[in-house]
Structure formats: C-alpha cells, structure tokens
Chain A
C-alpha cells in the first residue's frame, strides 16, 4: 500500500464516521429519506456555488450546498404542513431541485469541469493527488473537508447532546421543557447538508445516503442506548469503509459502491444474527417458548 491508498482509507473512514454519527439521529427520528432528499438536492447548490466562485474551491460549495439543504428541509416542512403526506412532499421537493441541478450541469457542462458522474458516484480513488497545505500540514483536500465536517458535527452534538437526544426520542416533551425543537431540527439538517457536500466528491451524492442510513440502522438493531448506538454506527461505518476498500481492490470496482455494499452485508448480518433483535434469535425463542406471550415481538 502506498500513501494514496492510506489517504483513500482515511477519507473513507472519516466519511463513514461523520455519516454514522448523524445517521443515528436520522434513523431515530424516522427521517432517513430526508437524508436521501438532501443528498440529491444539494446538487443545484453545488453547481451554483461552482458557477459563482468559478472553481471547485470547497468553502463556497459547502455554503451553497448547506443553504440548499436547509431550503430543502424548509420546503418539505412547508408542503407537509400544507397537507401533503410527508414522504410525498420529500419526493416532490428533492426531485424538483435535482432536476434543476441536472439542468444546470447540462447547460454549462461545456465550459466547466464539473462531471455529473463524479458528483453522483464520487471519485475517491484520486483523493491523495489533490493536497492542500494548511496549518503546517499537507493533507488531501478531501481529508480537510470531511474532517472539518466531522469536527463540526462532533462539537455541536457534543455540546448539545442532551437536547439532541430528547428531540430524537420525544420532541413533544423536548418542546414542553423549553428546548427550541425547530432550531435543533434545522441544526441537524444543516449538519447533514454540510456532511453530504463534504463527502460528495469522495463517495458521490447518492452513496452518502447509504452511509447515513445503513450503519445507523445496523446499530439500531444491536443496541438500545443512544450513546452505544452512535458508537456502534460509527464503528460499522468505518469497518464497511475498510472492507469495501479491500473488496474494491480485489474486484477492481468502484470503491464507493463496494463500501455501501459492504455496509449492506453488515446490515444483513446484524438483521439475522443480532443478539437482541435478530431474526434467528427471534425464531429460536419462538421455537423454545411457544405460547409465551412476552416474546412475540421485540
């Protein structure tokens, strides 16, 4: 393994860690598909920021995309409170924004070098080539960006852990004790947008949702405590990044695709074999204690 391989692994692990952390809250709040929506709808934000700043410079893109991410959430909320079912309003909003993005890309595709394939699938194989020296460290740009997003999430969630926790499990109670639920909702969504944008160059806009949802859902099957779930989710994400990386080496295939596929395999394992919520365990219990009413559903 040369230096570039290590950078790829590090970037993938950072993406997986950042997504695993936020994904736990998304899965608990039943907003997994909002992650999907944001990861698609940041596309116009990325393109517009790119057109305005004229470079793939990351800070402008981060802000552009975070703004569009928040706009997405706001519009979804608006239509939902106007009487549209929540999943339908998610679908309407993100497809419209995504269409705008695709249109912008194809309008300006002749004179910008923003590859649609790259935006959607990501190109993690070359992260090591594009390094940015800062603070005396010469790290790849992707590591700076994803690391920054991860740090931001860690700081905000660390500071407001109790508030985020209460909002995730019982928003009504949280509102009753005086926590600004809407503020934390938008803060979480803003973090999801920033993380999505920071990651899209590495794993692609579509696969970010895989890393947001799959490790968190796996962790949800393994534990009943939020802290443990977050830790577990980050761990599952990092393990799938490593497994996926080596699988991609072996198969000579897309690294991002392999990472999500590896996360899928881990999810299936947890789904079948989880000690507390696994299918096998449930079947065994049912067979052993048929008629015992307590154990029918977990």
Chain B
C-alpha cells in the first residue's frame, strides 16, 4: 500500500490528524520549556498524571477523555506546585525533586490502578491503553477534542508570544517591567500539563516526554531566532507524527507512539549532523577549511619571510 491508498482509510486519517496536531502543539510548547531549562518537566508531569486519571475514573466510572483531562490536569498542577515547593523550601535540587514527584505520583497511580483492576468494574482495560498510548484506538470525538485543545494551546502561545519570549530569555527583566512572571510560569506549566494529558492517549506516558523535548532540541540546532525555532519545532513534531502514523499503518504490528518518537529522534540525529553552523559536519568542514587556510598562510609566510 502506498501513502495515498492509506489515506483513503478514514481511521488512518483520524490518527494522522491527531498525531500531527499533537506533534505541532507539543513542539511549540517544548521550545519554551527547553529555553526555560525545564525539558524534563514534561516527563515528570506525564508520570504524575496517572493518579489524576485513575481518580477521575474511580469517581466517574466513565472513560471520557475530558474527565481524564481534568483529573490529569489537577494532578499535574499539584505536581508542579510540589516540585516548586520542595526546591524552594529545602536543599533538594530540581533534579531530585523531579525524580521524587515523578516516582511517588506514579507509584500512587499504580496503587490506584491495581485497586481499579481488582474492583473489577469491567471496562478498566481502557486505562492501560491510556497509559501506553494507542493511537489506533482513537475515535472521531477523541480527535476532535485533541484538535480543539491543540489549537487552543498554539493560540495561547501565539497570543502570549512576546511575554513567553521575555520569560524564556530574561525573567529578571520581565519582572522589572512589571510582567506577572510567576503567573506566566504557572500558565506555561498548565499548557504543558494540558499537552501532556492530551498526548498521553496517542503516544503513552513515557513517550509523551519525547514529543515535548526532541523536536524542540532539534529545532534549536537550526536557528538562533525564537520565532523560527518554535515554528521549526512544531514542524518537526508534526512531521514525526506523519512518519510514525504511516509507518505504523503500513505494518499492523507496530504501535504509532514509539514510531513517532523514533522519527523525532531520527530528525534530531539529522539536525545534530547536518545543521548549518552548529551541526557536526559543518563544524568539521569549518575546522578543515580554517586549518587549510592556516597552513597555506604559514607556508606563504615561510617562503616570503626567509631571506633568499
């Protein structure tokens, strides 16, 4: 089957729409997270969402994505507050605080998950899928929710572009000119939480972190301008979604999530190697040309400088 034939399948089209939107919005958000040096926050929040999702399921008994979103967003907010509180009020550093919140929340989540499984409510199997991600299982309403949320995320980023830019590069100055830095920081976290929660369904908990980090880091290699970087990161994210979806549609055994992440990783490796100026190849070329020039210079001087 070629790509066009695959596109005839309405199911593939929905999955494609979902992964592209997911890649786009998480790429854009990831750029800000990367510049704020909070790349691993996405990882921690993705794990921390688990107890929220479980509690939402236990309270409502339904598997609606909106309720999961609310539960996970609540858990994610508690997690960000927790990380901030621990780093501010003790000598625990950010990395350990992230590790603590991530693992403890995830541990509590697994306890709740086993409770749900033991309580035998019949339809708990969807929760597992929710964790590991199963893009193939998404239906039209899921994709619509994802579409609305993704557009909202990108829209907020576009509206607050100037503020986020200042926040990323010079928070001190931002505070100086009267921007509500703490609130903006919290808002950025909230946006990441929302992106993570929506994305978990498509690519799963662990791999969602990759969609936030990898496209942004790759984009950083190509440019020195924030606007270009966010656009590129969104593009890389969307492209990984497309590649992952097609690769997985071509072979039924392969899940979409890991394939999208591998596509993003491949783009990262390409960026590391071939990006202009910062890439390995261009650095090697530059070094070689400088050396050649220096040698030529040296020989020239030796020839000219030596008394005949």
> Which residues of A are interface residues toward B (Cβ below 8 A)?
27, 30-33, 35-36, 40, 79, 82-85, 87-92, 95-96, 98-100, 102-103, 106-107, 116-117, 121, 206-207, 209-214, 216-217, 220-221, 248, 251-254, 256-261, 263-264, 267, 271, 277, 279, 282, 298
Given contacts A88-B39, A102-B257, 5 further A-B contacts (CB under 8 A): A40-B206, A95-B209, A95-B213, A99-B257, A209-B102
B47 touches A95 (CB 8 A): no
Chain B contact surface mostly? helix
Query: Complex formed: what's the CA distance from A117 to B110 in Å?
Result: 11
With both beta carbons as reference points, the residue of chain A lying nearest to B96 in the complex is identified as A32
- B60-73 vs A: 1/0 string, CB under 8 Å? 00000000000000
Query: Complex formed: what's the CA distance from A117 to B40 in Å?
Result: 23
Nearest-Cβ distance from residue B283 to partner chain A, whole angstroms? 9
Partner of A95, one of B90, B102, B214: B214
Residues of A contacting B276 in the complex (Cβ-Cβ under 8 angstroms): none
Chain A contact surface mostly? helix
A33 touches B262 (CB 8 A): no
Interface centre among B99, B206, B216 (most CB of A within 10 A): B99
> Which residues of B are interface residues toward A (Cβ below 8 A)?
34, 37-40, 42-43, 47, 86, 89-93, 95-100, 102-104, 106-115, 118, 128, 132, 204, 206-207, 209-210, 212-214, 216-217, 220, 253-255, 257-259, 261-262, 265, 268, 272, 278, 280
Nearest-Cβ distance from residue A171 to partner chain B, whole angstroms? 16
Given A206-B47, A260-B103, A260-B106, do A32 and B95 touch, yes or no (CB 8 Å)? yes
Query: Complex formed: what's the CA distance from A35 to B108 in Å?
Result: 20
A91 touches B213 (CB 8 A): yes
Query: Complex formed: what's the CA distance from A85 to B37 in Å?
Result: 7
Partner of A102, one of B110, B207, B272: B207
Given A82-B272, A87-B40, A253-B114, do A210 and B257 touch, yes or no (CB 8 Å)? no
The 15 sampled A-B contact pairs (Cβ below 8 Å) are A36-B102, A85-B37, A85-B39, A87-B37, A87-B38, A91-B217, A98-B207, A103-B259, A206-B103, A209-B103, A210-B103, A213-B96, A213-B103, A220-B92, A260-B103
Query: Complex formed: what's the CA distance from A30 to B95 in Å?
Result: 6
B92 touches A221 (CB 8 A): yes
Residues of A contacting B262 in the complex (Cβ-Cβ under 8 angstroms): 96, 99-100, 103
Residues of A contacting B43 in the complex (Cβ-Cβ under 8 angstroms): 36, 91, 95
Given A30-B95, A88-B34, do A217 and B210 touch, yes or no (CB 8 Å)? no
B106 touches A207 (CB 8 A): yes
With both beta carbons as reference points, the residue of chain A lying nearest to B217 in the complex is identified as A88
Query: Complex formed: what's the CA distance from A27 to B217 in Å?
Result: 25
Report the 9 A-B pairs with minimum CB-CB distance, sorted nearest first. A210-B103, A260-B107, A95-B210, A264-B104, A257-B110, A213-B99, A96-B265, A91-B213, A99-B258
